[in-house]
A and B are shown apart, each in its own frame.
Chain A
Amino acid sequence: MNAPLGRPAVDMSVRIGGLTLKNPVMPASGTFSEELAEVFDLGTLGAHVLKTITRDPRTGNPTPRVTEVEGGMLNAIGIPSKGVEAFLAKVVPFYSRYDVPLVVSISAPTSADFATLAARVSVPGVAAIEANISCPNIEEDGRAFAIRPGSTREVMARLRDATDLPLWAKLTPNTGETPEVARAVEEAGGDALVVANTILAMAVDTRTRRPRLGNLMGGLSGPALKPITLRMAYQCARATSLPVIGCGGIATVDDALEYLIAGASAVQVGTETFIDPLAMPRIIEGLRARAEAEGVAAIRDYVGTLADAAEPEGVVFMQAAP
Chain B
Amino acid sequence: MTALPVLATAGARVFTGPLRVAEHEAVNADYRLMRLEAPPTLTAACAPGQFFHLLCPAEGRHAPLLRRPMSIYGAEGDRLSFLYKVQGKGTAALATLPVGGSLEVMGPLGQGFRLDPGWRNLLLVARGVGLATLAPLAAAAKAKGMGLTAICSARAPEFLMSLELFASHGAEVVTVLDSDGTSAVEHLDPMIEARMAAGAVDAVFTCGSARLLRLLQALGDKHGVPGQVALEQQMACGLGMCHCCVRPFRRDGATVPLRVCREGPVFDIREAVA
Contact = CB atoms under 8 A, between A and B. Distances in A.
B272 interface: no
Interface of B: 8-9, 11-14, 16, 55, 62, 64-67, 89, 104, 106, 233-247, 256-257, 262
B13, B14, B64, B233: residue with the most chain A Cβ atoms closer than 10 Å:
B14
A77 B65 contact: no
Nearest to A72: B65
B234 to A, nearest CB: 5
Contacts of A38: 12-14, 239
Interface in A61-114: 63-68, 70-73, 75, 77, 80
Interface in A1-54: 30-33, 35-41, 51
B55 A275 contact: yes
Contacts of B12: 37-41
Contacts of B257: 59-60, 80
11 contacts: A31-B237, A31-B241, A33-B240, A64-B234, A73-B66, A75-B242, A80-B246, A271-B65, A274-B241, A277-B14, A278-B16
Contact of B8 (A39, A67, A222): A39
A65 B243 contact: yes
Contact of B67 (A59, A60, A67, A275): A275
B244 A66 contact: yes
Contact of B65 (A39, A80, A222): A222
Contact of B237 (A71, A72, A273): A273
A268 to B, nearest CB: 14
- Chain B contact residues: over half helix, strand or loop, or mixed? loop
- Chain A contact residues: over half helix, strand or loop, or mixed? loop
Interface of A: 30-33, 35-41, 51, 59-60, 63-68, 70-73, 75, 77, 80, 222-223, 271, 273-278, 281
Nearest to B256: A59
A277 B236 contact: no
A31 B242 contact: yes
B18 to A, nearest CB: 12
A64 B242 CA distance: 13
A278 B55 CA distance: 13
B8, B233, B240: residue with the most chain A Cβ atoms closer than 10 Å:
B8
Contacts of A75: 236, 242, 244
A59 B259 CA distance: 12
